[in-house]
Structure 1
Amino acid sequence: MIRQSFTETKPTLYLISTPIGNLKDITLRALETLKTVQVIFAEDTRNTLKLLSHYEISKPIKSYHEHNKQSATLEVLKHLEQGDSVGLVTDAGTPAISDPGFDLVLVVKDHYPVVPIPGASAVLTALVASGLTPQPFTFFGFLDRTLSKRKDALNKLSGLPHTIVFYERGDRVKDTLKDMLDVLGNRDVVLAKELTKQFETFYEGKIESLITTDIHEKGEFVMLVSGKSETTSSSGDIVTDVKEYIQLGYSEKEAIKKVASELGVHKNVVYQKVIEFGGIKK
């Protein structure tokens, strides 16, 4: 199947990217599209009304969010059947990326044109300013609130050698950092918040250090974590490092944890290297 956005004359569903903070970060094309569609479906009608009011755009606004998406999808289809073009927006950024919209696209795309209107992206905005390797990268989005599912997801991502990007609520950032330290090891991490706004802030350092850093937790964060280190240290080097810590008075468990933290890998990786080398010979 081939879909060409601008060869159809049918009513169209437009996926319109909106600013992630600064209202000036909207494209001319997005404004033009908001003015030309017959109706706008929004994740939060109040937030969208502020945006439209700022640019003096008057359009009917209806709700489309995670909890009403089935009934709202039927409404969208009804509008399209009646000849109305529809705009879909989220509170900030691009529809369907960690926000509602994916299910609607699946239903609409085989019957009516679905046209993306690109714009601001929290993922890319944070990534290019993070100082971590920008490509390749893996975007995960929000981790599950359940501890076991969260750690399971982190375990599956732990072997990736490139930057991994997450979203997280401010009040859960510290707990997520602790889980990352436990599963991923003490890697480099950047926390970005208030992107494009007056108090745009980047917290950066090792996971362990950011756990004890005073972080203003209000709002949502983009969390960027470095990939698994391809350390050139041999098993012999790692065992030597572990031995040195033991000689300084650390227990074997503590020594393994220290070396893992320095290498930015999970402690099980160091433990396995020690086992492969034949263990610690005292």
Structure 2
Amino acid sequence: MTGTAAEVIKTNDDGRQLIAVVTGASTGIGEATARRLRADGWIVYAVARRAERLEALAQETGAIPAATDITDPAQVEALRDRVLQERGTVDALVNVSGGARGTDSVGQAKDQDWEFMFEVNVMGTMRLTRAFLPALSENGEGTILNLTSTAAEHAYEGGGGYNAAKSAQRALTQALRLEEAEHNIRVIEVAPGMVRTPEFSLRRLGDQGAADKVYAGVSKPLTAEDVAGVCAYAVNLPHHVDLDLITMRPVAQAAQHKVIRES
């Protein structure tokens, strides 16, 4: 890494500035990760659907806005073509886009909620990975980081759809690591527990009051910046170091079923 504190540039061994594609960059963990990698000196393509938020991020950080709906294969392919046309290669794909919808039991499940969760968490991750794999393989030192969840580790009542989607994303990640090790592609999984972000629980529950109750009494849930710091640390390590799975929770969340809440 070269440059001053204000002009840091993260380079490879040949002196070329490293390039990352970060999805979910309009809010929460994705936005925080794009900010962190920019601060670390990466060229960052910030990917999300909301173009106006990406433009604001670009003005603040110098990230390159790339408005893309990852549920649309044609838009994903157009994103890949743009990045490779402009840069010629890519060093890291950071799949943060995801989300949960609803808390219905499996017996009361709504098709549209489950379809959304599988589209953004599983199919979106697959589409981005499929699109960029050839370039990452040709790069010689490519990295893919997938953001899953502790919901992939332990099921809970009302979480069936999200548990299923994140478990599938984890299985995809594990298979990918086995398939791509021979191409020197590093595959990292970061699985956060309770993270308080502006939109995750609100979008899941549809009501700010209900969203606030998720974190009620928990003095220090994880923040988007906490998770972004771990993601950035993992992709900034020397390429031969692969943090296969990083599970992170706030201290107050001793396990998925045990959360310390102050009265």
TM-score interval (norm. to shorter): 0.3 to 0.5
TM-score by length of 1: 0.34
Higher Cα Rg, which structure: 1
TM (norm. structure 2) is 0.36
More helix by share: 2
